[in-house]
Structure 1
Amino acid sequence: MQAHGKQPNIARIWRGRVRRERADEYEAYNYEAGIKPLMKKAIGVQTLREDHAGESEFVTISYWESLSDMAAFTGADPTDVHHLERDAEFLIELPKAVQILNVRSSHGHTGFA
């Protein structure tokens, strides 16, 4: 997962919930509109999904070398949520925040050195 020879120091975590019956459709849309562009700039990207009876939760984790690298992609404030064009159509509620964490260590097969 380590791209461009950079070391991941920052993880940016986004979470969103979708009605279960639209989860597959949102997953495909999110990949095309959100993940593909992100993969060109971040060191690595993980997408996770948890299905429940009535809704599915999506989590996207992108890895960055620095906040300035992240800001170059997301805009002036990397903590701001940048919604995709159709997020309001799919998401149960629009997320108001992302979580930014420092990567302290990786263990096992994570793809990072």
Structure 2
Amino acid sequence: MTKVPTIARIWRGRTKPELADEYEAYNSAEGIPPLLRTALDVQLLREDREDETWFTTISYWADMVSMTAFTKGDPRQVHHLERDAELLCELPERIQIHKIVVPPRLR
């Protein structure tokens, strides 16, 4: 039986445009794989603006228990990657946790 996500955990951070490709590659190599091994699904989004680039990581979870097991504590706590301070404009201070009201369609 396929699990349906009930919770989305959302992280957002921004970088300078000249560092955006480097951060995308770094986050894809270091930040996303642990999520892919544990979450039901993961999305990495990128928004290029004139003077900054925003990244949004959304991970989908069956329940708070599984998300808490992954984060080994409070899932609202931000866990920064080793090079985040170097590559991001500032270290994000919060994570958003959303209850999924309309789940994705299973195909």
Instruction: Check whether TM > 0.5.
Output: yes
CA distance in 2, matches of 1:44, 1:83: 20
* Deviation at residue 98 of structure 1 after TM alignment: 0.5
Q: Deviations over 1:14-37 (max 9, x none)?
A: 000000000000000001100011
* Alignment partner of 1:30 out of 20, 27, 30: 27
CA distance in 2, matches of 1:39, 1:86: 20
Structure 1: gaps (5+ residues): none
Question: What's 1:46 paired with?
Answer: 43
Distance in 2 of aligned mates of 1:32 and 1:25: 11
Show the 5 A alignment for 1:1-113: 5-106=2-103, 110=104, 112=106
- TM-superposed deviation, 1:111: 5.5
Give the AA of the match of 1:95. P
Give me the identity figure in percent: 54
- In 2, Cα distance between equivalents of 1:111 and 1:47: 19
Distance 1:81 1:112 in 2: 30
SS of structure 2 residue aligned to 1:57 = strand
**Which aligned segments of 4 or more residues in structure 1 are displaced greater than 2 angstroms?**
110-113
State how far apart, in whole Å, the 1-side matches of 2:105 and 2:87 are: 31
Q: Please report how far the alpha carbon of residue 54 of structure 1 lies from its aligned counterpart in structure 2 after TM superposition.
A: 1.6
Residue 5 of structure 1 aligns with an amino acid whose one-letter code is T
Q: 1:100 to 1:68 in 2, by over 3 A?
A: same
RMSD: 1.4
